Structure 1
Amino acid sequence: MTTSEVSGVGDASEVGGGSTDVVLVRHERAVAVITLNRPHALNAMTRPMATAYAEALRAADADPAVRAIVVTGAGRGFCAGADLGVLKQGPQAIRAFVPPPDDLPDLALRLRKPVIAAVNGPVAGIGCAYLLGSDIRYAARTATISTSFARLGLVAEYGISWLLPRVIGTPHALDLLLSGRTIDAAEAASIGLVHHVTEPGDVLARAVEHAADLAATGAPSSHAAIKAQIYADLERPRSEALAHTLKLMDGSFDGPDLAEALAARTAKRPPAFAPLPPP
């Protein structure tokens, strides 16, 4: 939950009530690009920023025009933890900083639409939880990642102890959480923490291109169902997961998206899948 400060710049439009543009949103094709916007502090998280970010995610999930979401940071950082001023104010201030359950970093996992992280710079502490809240992760070659909790006398926060072993395996998760050490993008890719490593200036464009491809080629209903299956099946016995899958399969055979996909292939045209209804 620590950070340092540097200078930087942000762009785009304001989201999040009166929170002074701490989160920015723009739309590119069918992709919502959400930017954490405290570049002078490496996008260290504040309570208003966490609230605005959760609002932006929910708005994108509810928008029929949005079919995929990209999350990034303004300036040189992705999210370097909780704002240092919070830690200096003592335990009560830290308790007040913790977002309510509906706004916790795992919110992105509960959305119906794919969420892709474009990690442009340092990630630490709660920033790791926001990183893990994405479904697909891009990182600039120069990005760094640190859990940092053990070095601050803290526990593995925000559900990281549940999710990180499922993403990278128990041995790697224990290594990162017990040591609190900083790893680079290459090591993060080698253990499966990020999927793709790019040159620093390309990370956002690559992530948006990936999101736009998902938006153009996949059925929104399929994306929503698959995300729900994957995360629910992490906690189901195999037999229950299989039974649930067979039930979903049977329903999808009669659905309009399969018929549209087959018609589009016959006509050699892109499919025109229907948007998701409001949640």
Structure 2
Amino acid sequence: IKHALAEAESDERVVGIVLTGEGKGFCPGMDMNALDSQSSGTNNGQREDLSFLAANPGDEALGENFETTYTYLMSIRKPIIAAINGACAGLGLAVATMTDIRIVERSAKFSTAFSQRGLIAEHGISWTLPRLIGTGNALDLLWSARKFDGEEAKDLGLAEILAEDGESLLTAKNYIKKLAMGSAPKSLQVIKAQVHRHNNMQLGESMKETNDWMAISLERSDFKEGVRSFIEKRPPNFERVSLT
């Protein structure tokens, strides 16, 4: 996944990224046979060599909080939309909470799963989930590990958009197409960084950084194009973001 995300992040033709599951599920969590071998000590430690896929996507300037195994998703310089097309549990749910927007299908099934496996809230979900749905709701889902569907995910605030079954990927693609047609890619990048960075700052500190970044944005050609296209009543032609 890191390799694919790094490729998409560095491609200036790409405005946004969709993360979805193959087949009928998003990600049902870790393989139970792998967990069994870990708990019984029978794992022989042999793994396929995937070093050729090594990659380090994301903006290092956001700091070490966004450099861990899964939190790097929040530092990717482009919007990441999760198109949740089926089972989403455990690790899969944790990863989904670190994407920028979640589009869920009505019949998709969710569960935190951890407590029913004798585990704690892993992979940063104890930080992300309360920020999305509130402390009480997060504790309920983490303690009980109960199953819930896409409609409840939307009601809780875990998902931003509810799609009909089989339509999450198309809905996500259409969402990104709308961004590409009307929003400056650089603005999308900076706004994402603002939201995630400022979630860990005091208000005054975040305002100071915002003012500094705003001064920079006022000097960009995108600002001039945004004003000009509005006056001329035409779609804007913003610059694409290149990381090279």
Query: Considering the TM-score relative to the shorter chain, is it more than 0.5?
Result: yes
Of residues 204, 212, 224 in structure 2, which corresponds to 1:239?
204
Corresponding residue number in structure 2 for 1:87: 35
Deviations 1:136-179 (A, max 9, x none): 11111110111100111111111111111111111111111111
Distance in 1, Cα, partners of 2:201 & 2:130: 16
Distance in 1, Cα, partners of 2:159 & 2:111: 13
* Residue range with higher mean Cα deviation, 190-199 or 101-110: 101-110
SS at match of 1:81: coil
Counterpart amino acid of residue 67 in structure 1? V
RMSD (CA atoms): 2.2
SS at match of 2:175: helix
Corresponding residue number in structure 1 for 2:195: 230
Counterpart amino acid of residue 79 in structure 1? C
The share of aligned pairs that are identical, in percent, is: 38
Corresponding residue number in structure 2 for 1:77: 25
Deviations 1:222-271 (A, max 9, x none): 11110101001111011101111111111211111100111222333221
Correspondence list, 1:163-178, <5 A: 163-178=128-143
Asked if the contact 1:150–1:179 (Cα under 8 Å) also holds between the matched residues in 2, the reply is yes
Tell me how far 1:217 sits from its aligned partner: 1.2
Counterpart amino acid of residue 115 in structure 1? I
Correspondence list, 1:1-279, <5 A: 53-91=1-39, 93=43, 102=67, 104-278=69-243
Query: Of the two structures, which has the highest relative contact order with CA contacts closer than 8 Å and spacing of 6 or more?
Result: 2
Counterpart amino acid of residue 37 in structure 2? Q
Counterpart amino acid of residue 181 in structure 1? R
Tell me how far 1:59 sits from its aligned partner: 1.1
Distance in 2, Cα, partners of 1:95 & 1:278: 37
1:129–1:211 Cα change, 3 Å: same
Distance in 1, Cα, partners of 2:11 & 2:34: 33
Asked if the contact 1:77–1:123 (Cα under 8 Å) also holds between the matched residues in 2, the reply is yes
Counterpart amino acid of residue 139 in structure 2? L
Distance in 2, Cα, partners of 1:217 & 1:193: 26
1:134–1:126 Cα change, 3 Å: same
1:214–1:206 Cα change, 3 Å: same
Unpaired runs of at least 5, structure 2? 48-53, 57-65
Aligned residues: 226
1:140–1:271 Cα change, 3 Å: same
SS at match of 1:74: coil
Q: TM-score if structure 1 supplies the norm length?
A: 0.76
Distance in 2, Cα, partners of 1:200 & 1:260: 39
1:181–1:95 Cα change, 3 Å: farther
Asked if the contact 1:86–1:94 (Cα under 8 Å) also holds between the matched residues in 2, the reply is no
Asked if the contact 1:54–1:107 (Cα under 8 Å) also holds between the matched residues in 2, the reply is no
SS at match of 1:78: strand
Distance in 2, Cα, partners of 1:237 & 1:138: 30
Deviations 1:65-123 (A, max 9, x none): 100111111111000001222112124659999x9995722222111111111111010
1:154–1:273 Cα change, 3 Å: same
1:96–1:218 Cα change, 3 Å: farther
Counterpart amino acid of residue 179 in structure 2? L
Distance in 1, Cα, partners of 2:186 & 2:44: 39
Tell me how far 1:129 sits from its aligned partner: 1.4
4+ residue runs of structure 1 moved beyond 6 angstroms? Answer: 94-97
Unpaired runs of at least 5, structure 1? 1-52
Q: TM-score if structure 2 supplies the norm length?
A: 0.87
